[in-house]
Amino acid sequence: MKAKLGISALVLLFLTGLWLVAAPFAVGYQPRGAGYTDATVNDLWVGGGLAAVSFVALVIYAADSLRELARRGKHADV
């Protein structure tokens, strides 16, 4: 149960990061053709960082789970 909750939280953080990156353009507070506003720069840095960290955490969790499954399979053959 704790693992499902953790994975769900990481997926939610990843999607939140993606939304923060897309929000200035989807919502429209970044004018087309204009220089990036401070709010856009903030959203891009925070959203990109959040998405990157949560994605790395998901990859690490998946690699650890695969390693655990492989270890269990190796011991089952003995």
Distances (CA, A) of 75 to 13, 17, 72: 35, 40, 5
Q: What are phi and psi of 30, to 5 degrees?
A: -110, 105
The model's pTM is: 0.81
CA atoms within 13 A on the CB side of 34: 12
Q: How far apart are the C-alpha atoms of 47 and 15, rounded to whole Å?
A: 9
Per-residue pLDDT of the chain (78 residues; tens, 9 = 90+): 677 888 999 999 999 999 999 999 999 888 888 999 999 999 999 999 999 999 999 999 989 888 988 888 877 655
Q: How many CB atoms lie within 10 A of CB 30?
A: 19
